[in-house]
A and B are shown apart, each in its own frame.
Chain A
Amino acid sequence: MSDSPLILQVQGLSKNFGGVKAIDNVDLDIRQGEIVALIGPNGAGKTTFFNCLTGIYSPTSGEIDLSDPRTGKTTRVNGKKPNKITEIGMARTFQNIRLFPTMSVLENVMIGRHCRTKAFIFGAIFRNAATRREEAAIIECSYDILKQVGLHKQVNEQARNLSYGAQRRLEIARALATEPFLLLLDEPAAGMNPKETEELVALIRLICSEGHSILLIEHDMKLVMTLSDRIFVMDYGKKIAQGTPEEVRANPAVIKAYLGEDVDA
């Protein structure tokens, strides 16, 4: 694993909100094919970190470099627009589900294909052969992705009518539709029952085996420890530890961050 190419390199990333240092000089890197977890107590800055990566916030300082393993091209993405970053090949899901509630399951996924196709307003009006072919290809590909996450029987259902676990899977499907090489999952198992979590672990493994790399934020430690190749730990905006699950579990700084200082010591 350690010799596969780096796909994400974050160096010295900081984000200030007024005087608050939400992220303070954080380094992080991900290699092709890895599942990396970002953990930390509530308010540690994990979601802010995701927002900086995906372009929702522009970082105060620091660099974010994405390298597409398919082409080997490296792009500096800080300051780029979110849709450009999605086009380069990074997609994400949200902590609280954000689907397009009154669109169908299929349409939700098809939207994700947008950045990979060309036709726009003129194609839409004149509907030439190329547009129609492209449209058919989008539907076919979206259907395949839905099959992968097990939602192909509900393609015409409105997204808001799906069960909670299914909505989570649909979010992942929509993210996959943008053809990312790096997928960011923000608390994918939040609110799931053990069976749903188990299915989610299997799904994440499947996605990873197909060549996507994954960075996830998660509080479910069992899931984090079983899935991750490496773990980064944040607290108060700073990175306090990194390493394999075993190393992180044994790290005193991590234990302190989660459980507080031992009073008697």
Chain B
Amino acid sequence: MDYFIELLFAGLTRGSIYALIALGYTMVYGIIGLINFAHGEIYMIGAFTSFIVATVLSIYGFPLLAIVVIAGVAAAVWSSAYGFTVEKLAYRPLRKAPRLAPLISAIGMSIFLQNYVLLAQTSDFLPFPELIPEFAFMEPVAHIVGSSDMVILVTTTLVMIGLTCLIKFTKIGKAMRATAQDKTMAVLVGVNVDRVISATFVIGSALAAIGGLLIASHIGQINFYIGFLAGIKAFTAAVLGGIGSIPGAVLGSLVLGLTESFATGYISSDYEDVFAFSLLVLILIFKPTGLLGKAEIQKV
């Protein structure tokens, strides 16, 4: 039973990290119908930024909590700047082009960012400092749920609640929903759609950066290539839940995380990715719109 609970928590942790990244995919898709393949790289840049900031701060002997907060904020801001710029340079000029063009542009951006980090940093795996300590009060359950799992779960839950409030109650949230539902009409009632799109990229990138910090600290090492697999997995999760749907992205991520966790725990860890992508294939065969996705109705 302990083993089951351990796997359950490991799955939830994994799922909530996927969710932080998947939200960026799904929000961007919901608004401009683009799969932003460079999103995984934004997450990787978030991990690198927090790595650099955390290392510098720990040299100066900052307390751990301060390091986590400052590194998190720095990663979020820096990744947002990247997300904003990528949209401006690679997608905005192609706004009126056929759908395939920005998609290719996104793949190009992803390759570019990977190689840029490879050249600017290193091709080696870098040891990431352990930013989340083992809490004393977690001692009795430490063999089942680690402290970092707990921190990841709590942080992502808070972030999701914040995002939901942002989208439900604020002006920018309303503008985002309106833009997703009918872009032309949103412009005609005075919404500055370009700004809404930029904001979407900024928010998505900030979430991915927080994910980058958490997972890097959890796993303990980073590399220029981590964005690729994380991006593909999060994209899988977004499609699983129904791309374009925000609750769908969260649900899809949790389902994916749990599937991977139980499959590796009870069957074999060699097949982790096999299970993840088989799940995707099955969902696409039996429910092509994803778990919570709605069928796209073409307007006549």
Residues of A with Cβ closer than 8 Å to B?
54, 56, 81-83, 86-87, 91-92, 94, 98-103, 107, 110-112, 114-117, 119-121, 123-125, 127, 135, 138, 174-175, 177-178
Contact = CB atoms under 8 A, between A and B. Distances in A.
A103 B190 contact: no
A102 B190 contact: no
Contact of B188 (A54, A119, A177): A54
Contacts of A117: 171
Contacts of B121: none
A120 B187 contact: no
Given A83-B193, A103-B178, A110-B174, A121 B187 contact: no
Contacts of A86: 187-190
9 contacts: A83-B187, A86-B188, A98-B182, A101-B181, A102-B181, A103-B177, A110-B171, A114-B174, A124-B173
Closest 5 pairs (CB-CB, A-B): A115-B190, A86-B190, A124-B170, A82-B187, A98-B185
A92 B171 contact: no
Interface in B164-200: 166, 170-175, 177-178, 181-182, 184-193, 195, 199
Given A121-B172, A124-B173, A111 B192 contact: no
Contacts of B188: 54, 56, 82-83, 86, 91-92
B255 to A, nearest CB: 24
B160 interface: no
Given A94-B185, A100-B182, A102-B181, A178 B171 contact: no
Contacts of A175: 189
Nearest to B188: A82
Contacts, number: 86
A112 B174 CA distance: 10
B202 interface: yes
Given A119-B171, A120-B172, A121-B202, A111 B181 contact: no
A127 B193 CA distance: 22
A183 to B, nearest CB: 12
Contact of B166 (A111, A124, A177): A124
Given A114-B175, A117-B171, A178 B190 contact: yes
B174 A174 contact: no
A160 to B, nearest CB: 10
Nearest to A110: B174
A70 to B, nearest CB: 17
Given A121-B172, A124-B172, A111 B189 contact: yes
Which of A82, A87, A119: most chain B Cβ within 10 A?
Answer: A82
